[in-house]
Structure 1
Amino acid sequence: MKLITVKNEQELSELTGELLIGWMLSKQTRFNLSITAGTTPEGVYRYLAPKIEKSRAFRHVHYYNFDEIPSTDPAFIGITMRDLNKLYFNPAKIDASQIHHLTSENYAEHDERLKQDGGLDAILLGIGQDSHYCGNLPGATQFEDQTVKVQATGALRTRISGHFDSPDLVPDHWVTMGPRSIMAARKLVLIALGSQKAEAIWHLVKGPVDSKYPASILKLHPDLTVIADEQAMKEVQ
């Protein structure tokens, strides 16, 4: 595990962006990348988008979302893809042929599709205050899971309800790449900002592997880079 402490969001965004650019350009053949939505990577995408848009050197990069909260409205694409379109795909003018959408309809074939495509070269991850990553929340998935459908009941349903304007719109499930699928990627980079992430970072870096803290499993990956600001890293300095 590589730990990189930065001073602020701008430094995190630029460093992570340059790291991803370097990885993308390390191959001339197809490069498969899975990226995260959420607030932490917003600066990363602002940094990346104009560089990717202006260069033909990244046409070999293919993108995969690693989770999706579907909509009960058939005209709505899904929470994750909606956010990725807004944050990155549209500003960077990524061609539709380079984007591969994980959905409720194709999740059972997702791991085989990735295998046929050559596997994921890298994943950009965030981490939640509760140590969740992707759709792997405490109590939602098991460490041995590949890509799965998670039933959104009780507290899990409440967790995703904030994405919707009405309780009637909240779906009864979401889909996510499970721990086994994430660990199969060649490289992982995880980013975090703020003191509210400090406990989750401690469990990732210092704590034992424990299903109560889903991201703790990531410490076993052979090529994990953690980039976080001083506040997020304060418990592991």
Structure 2
Amino acid sequence: MKIIVEKDYENMSKTTMQLLLGKMYQDKSVHLAITAGSTPKRMYELLVEEMKEKAPLTNVSYYNFDEIPIGDEKYGVTIANLKAMYFDPAGIPEEQIHMLDTKNYLEHDAHLKEVGGLDAILIGIGEDGHFCGNLPGVTKFGDETRLVSVQSRPDMFDILLGEVGGDAEKVPEYYVTMGPKNVMQAKQVILFANGKKKAAIIKKALQGPVTEDIPSSIFQLHPNFTVVLDEEAASELNR
């Protein structure tokens, strides 16, 4: 495990961008799974500026690692956010974007195996220790890419309600996520987090026991695990 602690959110975002660019600027096909959410917002702003100054990196294929469908809309929550934050502003062609959704999830793992696996996966961490769509109470470390039912946890409806903008009619019966087993097969796992509110879970995930109660604790076992934090998120670690 390599832990990088930067002074603040801005510097953490720059460092994470540089880690991704180090993968992207290779003279070979590169396969990256990337995250949506609030943490990467500044990183994507920086990355968009970088992409505008460079020739299109046609060697890079992008993947989402989870998806919550929204009614009959073409794009689910994750891809819609990635398009808004990065794909569209950076001019990423659709043929370089490989969407995981509830319709094609059964082919997803086979496709990744066929292309040689993910070179890196960029993930965040929830305050409960979840990553991707792997929540405590509904996740086993051996889980692969799968559908997760709204019935799987008593509070799952409320969780998904917040993700689809508060419209109860748009809450799906299932969402899809890569499982711990698939994510652990990536050649590099990059986890980043910022803010004091993440400090407690960062300590548990990185320095506590490896347990399904804290799904992200499994990355302690990954041979190439990089963590990028700001000082607030790292404030409870034993360093």
TM-score (norm 1): 0.96
Look up the match of 2:66: 67
Instruction: Report the CA distance between 1:76 and its aligned residue.
Output: 3.6
| Contact preservation (8 Å) 1:69, 1:175 | yes
Look up the match of 1:216: 217
Look up the match of 2:161: 161
Look up the match of 1:89: 87
Look up the match of 1:142: 140
* Equivalent runs, 1:51-62 vs 2, <5 Å: 51-56=50-55, 58-62=57-61
Per-residue CA distance 1:171-196 (angstroms, 9 max, x = gap): 11110000000000001111100111
Q: State the secondary structure of the residue aligned to 1:5.
A: strand
Instruction: Report the CA distance between 1:141 and its aligned residue.
Output: 1.9
Q: State the secondary structure of the residue aligned to 1:36.
A: coil
Instruction: Report the CA distance between 1:23 and its aligned residue.
Output: 1.7
Q: State the secondary structure of the residue aligned to 1:32.
A: strand
Q: State the secondary structure of the residue aligned to 2:31.
A: strand
Per-residue CA distance 1:144-182 (angstroms, 9 max, x = gap): 011010001221221121123321211111100000000
Look up the match of 1:123: 121
Look up the match of 1:230: 231
Q: State the secondary structure of the residue aligned to 1:62.
A: strand
Opposite residue 157 of structure 1, the aligned amino acid is: F
| Contact preservation (8 Å) 1:34, 1:123 | yes
* Equivalent runs, 1:168-207 vs 2, <5 Å: 168-207=169-208
Q: State the secondary structure of the residue aligned to 1:56.
A: coil
Q: State the secondary structure of the residue aligned to 2:89.
A: coil
Look up the match of 2:19: 19
How far apart in 2 are the matches of 1:57 and 1:30? 13
Instruction: Report the CA distance between 1:222 and its aligned residue.
Output: 0.4
Give structure 2 stretches of 5+ with no counterpart: none
Identity %: 43
| Contact preservation (8 Å) 1:141, 1:150 | no
Instruction: Report the CA distance between 1:140 and its aligned residue.
Output: 2.1
Per-residue CA distance 1:113-146 (angstroms, 9 max, x = gap): 1111221000111001000110011112210011
How far apart in 2 are the matches of 1:176 and 1:84? 16
RMSD: 1.1
How far apart in 2 are the matches of 1:199 and 1:133? 15
Opposite residue 19 of structure 1, the aligned amino acid is: L
Q: State the secondary structure of the residue aligned to 1:58.
A: coil
How far apart in 2 are the matches of 1:76 and 1:45? 23
TM-score (norm 2): 0.95
Instruction: Report the CA distance between 1:75 and its aligned residue.
Output: 2.9
Look up the match of 1:40: 39
How far apart in 1 are the matches of 2:40 and 2:136? 22
Instruction: Report the CA distance between 1:211 and its aligned residue.
Output: 0.7
Q: Indicate how the Cα distance of structure 1 residues 116 and 158 shifts in structure 2: closer, same or farther if over 3 A, else same.
A: same
Opposite residue 213 of structure 1, the aligned amino acid is: I
